[in-house]
Structures are given as structure tokens and as C-alpha cells.
């Protein structure tokens, strides 16, 4: 069977769609977003031979979750990005229902992609292959085909390989669902990326002291910071609690110690990565100077995503800003990378009662706030942050029910660092101890009004746009 070539349709979709998306008042000025169609997970984030590469799940043909290709950007500095040739299209038998998420590695100087070939059958079943592709002299990628078939004991939901090098071997974590419909993370080892030896389950629902923790674990990422081994994962089906795990699916991590020889991972409880309305499928890599960087999808599957108004302009979703990770006592901290300071225009200051603060222009804003609270931050009457003595509450109007919905960050808040870019707000709490990332769709030009009878100190900047070339 020959598959329908996608390229002519993709080209036409980009030619027709790009200017429409970019004229949308909600299109980001400096976050990465699709030129047209739907973007979801970041893939293949790597620093390779002097440049950063970031790939992404992309449906160039529409705003639905279909036709998943790998789009590709590169950058010398994480600030100025350029478009690269589309890296993968679902045009082979083994990836015909989508080139799903995965990673990139430097294999002896060859930029090599490791991704999931997803295959759906007419009877509703599916299978998955873990596949390789290698960069060619033209900057595109040549597929090498599948290297790992569906492992026994699991359903067709096995995907999202993340590969790293450790003590002369390649290791891979894979997201999986077992036959009992429990989410798991598998560990595998290889010497050449071609032959893989399964080492077992290292974490998941019902193991490692977690109890019932969901029916599928997607997008695992395992890395070491100082002496701690962190596993980031997206567990689907974790029970909602009063103040956490409130999105349709969360992104979470555990921290502990991985025994590579016995394939045993001793770890603590699941901690939510981001307490906002939109954050999912983050991926990390090392920077040129050894920092652990993270970028996430500022979206969540299976929630209210399709009610976002940008679909009328032919595009949907964006990435988060790139963040630097650090850890204190096994707890992950996230901060915007320092490179982003390159977007700042003139610095402004303000100090006094929140009620007397000037109304800020919120289209493209960086704001540092120090206070004891209580303060209210009203983003264009569409997104409202309340800073109280027991933590933060973020309220947003549902575009489906018209009701206010809430997200929470419980704890003592001393300072906030906020990044606004047209239709997104990222709130970093206490130097990165917590984060809340959310999309919102205000009438532009959006403003931010502060109120409250409390003193605050503010430093803020308007941020320059940074177009992808
Ligand atoms: C997460 C995810 C991955 C999958 C990809 C498909 O958002 O469902 O598990 O590989 O998206 O686009």
C-alpha cells in the first residue's frame, strides 16, 4: 500500500495559513507557536554541534490531533529561532497514524531522532513502533525504520522514547500501559541504538509505593541533577484532589535514586510540575554550559483545548518559555532562562500600595513583584490571580460553561515573576518553587490591574518580539 504523499497539502496549508495566524492578536510575540495548524509536545530538544534544536508535534493541516509530523526549529542562543526542514512525516507503514513524540541524541556526530511510529487499525486497536531517523546532508532526516516492536504484556499504548548516554551505554525510558490498564515507565538499554534490551518497569501506577496512579504514563524524561535522579512523566488518570491534579491530565515528577544495574528506582511521591491551566509533556536537555533546560507544551489534551478562539484563525497552542531547572532537597525549581533577559526594553520600577499602582500594559510584559499580599492581579478581566496569606488562587472564565474555574498554589508566597505574551501568562513563585502556566484570550490591548491595601515593590519591562525566521 502506498500512502498518500502529504507534502503538497502541507505546503498549501502553510502558504495559506501563515499570515492569518501571525495577524491574530493572540499569536505570541516571542514564544514558539505553529505557523499554522496544531502544535503539541516539544520533541528532540538538544544542543548539538553549537546549535539548539527543538522539534515539535505538529499537524500542519488543521487544528485537530491528526497527521502528526515533526516540525523543527534551531537556534544559536535559545532566543532567535529559525525554521528547519520538516523532519518527519507519517508516510511509512510503521508510522502511518502519526510520528509521535520522542527525543534526539548525538550518536558519534550524527543527529539521531528516536520517535514512536503510531499505527491505528480500523477496528479501533493500535500498535506502536519505536523508530530511528538520522539527519542527512540537506538538514532533513532519513528514516531507519523501527528498532523496538510492541513489548509483550502491554497494550498498543507504548510511546515517547527518551534516550540518554550513561557509562558506555544508551538508556531509554518509554511510556506504557500494561494489560491491566496501569500506566508504567519501562527502562531499556542498548550499545548502538539499534538493538535494545528491556530491563523492566522502573515506575508506574501500583509500584514504587504510588498506589493507583493512572491508566497510561506518557512522555517520561529521566535525568540527574546534583545527586538526585528525577523522572518527569505525564500520568493520565490520576485522581483530582482539592487543590492539585485539576487539569484533564497532569505533568508530574518523582525524585530518588536509580540503580542502573538492577533497574530499580527508589523514589518519593508524585509532585505536580506546574499548577496552571495549561502545561504538559515537558522535555529537558543540557545546555552548552551544563544547565538542565526544560520546555513544555502550554496546552493539555482532552480538556477544553478546542474552545480556544485561535482555531478560527487556523492555529492552536504554543510552547512555554524555556526554563532552567535546579533542585533543593529533591524538589524541582523552574526559572525562565537568563537568555530571555535579552528581550527586555527599559526597566521600570514602582513601589507603594497595590491600590495606587499604575495599570500595566500586559501584551508583552515581564514583572517581578515582592510583597506580603493580599493583592489581586487582574489580567483583562479574563484571568484573575489572588495572592493571599495561604497561597495563590488563579481564576479563569471557562469558554465552554462561562463559569469561573480555579487553580491553586498553596504555600507562603514572597515574590512572583510573571511573563505575559499576548495570550499566555507564566507565573513563577518564590524563585521557581512553583509555577502556574496558562493561556487566556483577552481583548487586546490587554492590561494588568493590581489592587489591594498592601505594599508592593515592582520591577517590570516590556518585552521585544522575536520572530522565527
Ligand atoms: C502527549 C502525546 C504523546 C504522543 C503525542 C502525540 O501529548 O499524547 O503521548 O506521543 O502526544 O501527538
Q: Is the pLDDT of residue 128 over 60?
A: yes
Q: Which helix (H) or strand (E) holds 12?
A: helix 7-22
Which pLDDT score, from 0 to 100, does residue 4 have?
77
Q: Ligand 1: distance of its center to the CA of 116 in Å?
A: 9
219 lines ligand 1 (CB under 6 A): yes
Cβ(235)–Cβ(219) below 8 Å: no
Q: Ligand 1: distance of its center to the CA of 43 in Å?
A: 10
Q: Is the pTM of this model over 0.95?
A: yes
Instruction: List pLDDT tens digits, range 32-91.
Output: 999 999 999 999 999 999 999 999 999 999 999 999 999 999 999 999 999 999 999 999
Distance CA 205, CA 183 (A): 5
Residues listed for the chain: 469
Q: Is the pLDDT of residue 261 over 70?
A: yes
- Residue linked to cell 523522572: 231
100 lines ligand 1 (CB under 6 A): yes
Cβ(126)–Cβ(171) below 8 Å: no
Q: Is 41 a catalytic residue?
A: yes
Q: Is the pLDDT of residue 132 over 60?
A: yes
More confident residue, 373 or 237: 237
57 lines ligand 1 (CB under 6 A): yes
Q: Is the pLDDT of residue 1 over 70?
A: no
Instruction: List pLDDT tens digits, range 311-331.
Output: 999 999 999 999 999 999 999
- Atom number of ligand 1 nearest to Cα 101: 10
101 lines ligand 1 (CB under 6 A): yes
41 lines ligand 1 (CB under 6 A): yes
Distance CA 344, CA 340 (A): 8
Q: Is the pLDDT of residue 368 over 70?
A: yes
Q: Ligand 1: distance of its center to the CA of 128 in Å?
A: 12
Instruction: List pLDDT tens digits, range 173-192.
Output: 999 999 999 999 999 999 99
Cβ(387)–Cβ(411) below 8 Å: no
Q: Is the pLDDT of residue 369 over 60?
A: yes
Q: Is the pLDDT of residue 425 over 70?
A: yes
Q: Is the pLDDT of residue 380 over 70?
A: yes
CA 347 to chain centre: 29
Q: Ligand 1: distance of its center to the CA of 65 in Å?
A: 9
- Atom number of ligand 1 nearest to Cα 57: 12
- Report all structural domains of the chain as residue ranges with CATH numbers, in order of start: 7-16+28-310 (2.115.10.20), 343-463 (2.60.120.560)
What the block records as the C-alpha cell of 310 is 485561535
For a substitution probing ligand 1, which of 65, 120, 160 has the most ligand atoms within 8 Å of its CB? 160
Q: Ligand 1: distance of its center to the CA of 313 in Å?
A: 23
Mean pLDDT of the chain: 97
- Atom number of ligand 1 nearest to Cα 65: 12
193 dihedral zone (left: phi>0; alpha: psi -120 to 50; beta): left
Contacts of 64 (CB under 8 A, 6+ apart): 38
Residue 254 preceded by cis peptide, ω within 30: no
229 lines ligand 1 (CB under 6 A): no
What the block records as the C-alpha cell of 357 is 499602582
Distance CA 162, CA 104 (A): 8
Q: Is the pLDDT of residue 2 over 80?
A: no
Query: Of residues 24, 41, 274, 421, which has the active-site annotation?
Result: 41
Instruction: List pLDDT tens digits, range 188-205.
Output: 999 999 999 999 999 999
Distance CA 290, CA 188 (A): 25
218 lines ligand 1 (CB under 6 A): yes
Pairing of strands 315-316, 37-48: parallel
Which pLDDT score, from 0 to 100, does residue 303 have?
86
Distance CA 138, CA 207 (A): 46
- Atom number of ligand 1 nearest to Cα 100: 10
For a substitution probing ligand 1, which of 100, 120, 295 has the most ligand atoms within 8 Å of its CB? 100
Confidence of residue 302 (pLDDT cuts 50, 70, 90): confident
Amino acid at each position: 500500500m502506498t500512502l498518500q504523499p502529504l507534502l503538497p497539502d502541507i505546503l498549501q496549508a502553510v502558504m495559506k495559513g501563515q499570515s492569518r495566524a501571525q495577524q491574530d492578536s493572540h499569536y505570541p510575540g516571542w514564544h514558539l507557536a505553529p505557523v499554522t495548524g496544531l502544535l503539541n509536545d516539544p520533541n528532540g530538544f538538544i544542543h548539538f554541534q553549537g546549535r539548539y534544536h527543538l522539534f515539535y508535534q505538529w499537524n500542519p493541516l488543521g487544528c485537530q490531533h491528526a497527521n502528526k509530523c515533526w516540525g523543527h526549529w534551531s537556534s544559536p542562543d535559545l532566543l532567535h529561532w529559525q525554521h528547519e526542514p520538516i523532519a518527519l512525516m507519517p508516510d511509512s507503514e510503521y508510522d502511518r497514524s502519526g510520528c509521535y513524540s520522542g527525543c534526539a541524541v548525538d550518536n558519534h556526530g550524527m543527529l539521531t531522532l528516536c520517535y514512536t511510529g503510531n499505527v491505528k487499525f480500523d477496528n479501533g486497536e493500535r500498535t506502536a513502533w519505536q523508530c530511528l531517523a538520522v539527519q542527512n546532508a540537506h538538514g532533513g532526516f532519513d528514516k531507519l525504520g523501527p528498532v523496538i516492536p510492541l513489548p509483550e504484556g502491554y497494550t498498543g499504548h507504548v510511546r515517547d522514547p527518551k534516550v540518554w548516554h550513561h557509562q558506555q551505554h544508551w538508556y531509554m525510558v518509554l511510556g506504557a500501559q500494561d494489560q491491566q490498564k496501569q500506566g508504567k515507565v519501562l527502562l531499556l538499554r542498548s550499545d548502538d541504538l539499534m538493538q535494545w534490551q528491556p530491563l523492566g518497569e522502573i515506575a508506574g501506577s501500583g509500584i514504587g509505593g504510588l498506589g493507583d496512579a493512572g491508566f497510561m504514563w506518557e512522555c517520561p524524561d529521566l535525568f540527574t541533577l546534583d545527586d538526585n535522579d528525577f523522572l518527569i512523566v505525564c500520568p493520565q488518570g490520576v485522581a483530582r484532589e482539592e487543590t492539585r491534579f485539576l487539569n484533564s491530565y497532569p505533568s508530574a515528577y518523582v525524585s530518588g535514586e536509580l540503580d542502573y544495574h538492577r533497574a530499580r528506582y527508589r523514589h518519593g511521591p508524585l509532585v505536580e510540575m506546574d499548577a496552571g491551566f495549561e502545561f504538559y509533556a515537558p522535555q529537558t536537555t543540557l545546555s552548552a554550559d551544563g544547565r538542565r533546560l526544560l520546555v513544555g507544551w502550554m496546552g493539555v489534551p482532552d480538556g477544553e483545548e478546542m474552545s480556544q478562539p485561535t482555531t478560527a484563525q487556523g492555529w492552536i497552542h504554543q510552547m512555554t518559555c524555556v526554563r532552567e531547572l535546579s533542585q533543593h532537597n529533591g524538589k524541582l525549581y523552574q526559572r525562565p532562562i537568563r537568555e530571555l533577559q535579552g528581550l527586555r526594553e527599559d526597566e521600570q520600577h514602582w513601589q507603594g500600595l497595590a491600590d495606587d499602582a499604575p495599570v500595566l500594559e500586559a501584551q508583552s510584559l515581564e514583572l517581578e513583584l515582592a510583597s506580603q499580599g493580599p493583592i489581586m492581579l487582574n489580567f483583562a478581566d479574563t484571568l484573575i490571580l489572588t495572592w493571599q496569606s495561604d497561597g495563590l488562587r488563579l481564576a479563569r472564565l471557562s469558554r465552554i460553561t462561562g463559569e469561573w474555574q480555579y487553580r491553586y498554589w498553596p504555600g507562603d508566597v514572597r515574590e512572583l515573576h510573571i511573563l505575559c505574551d499576548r495570550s499566555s501568562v507564566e507565573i513563577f513563585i518564590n524563585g521557581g518553587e512553583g509555577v502556574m502556566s496558562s493561556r487566556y484570550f483577552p481583548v487586546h490591548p490587554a492590561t494588568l490591574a493590581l489592587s489591594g491595601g498592601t505594599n508592593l515593590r515592582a520591577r517590570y519591562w516590556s518585552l521585544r518580539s522575536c520572530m522565527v525566521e
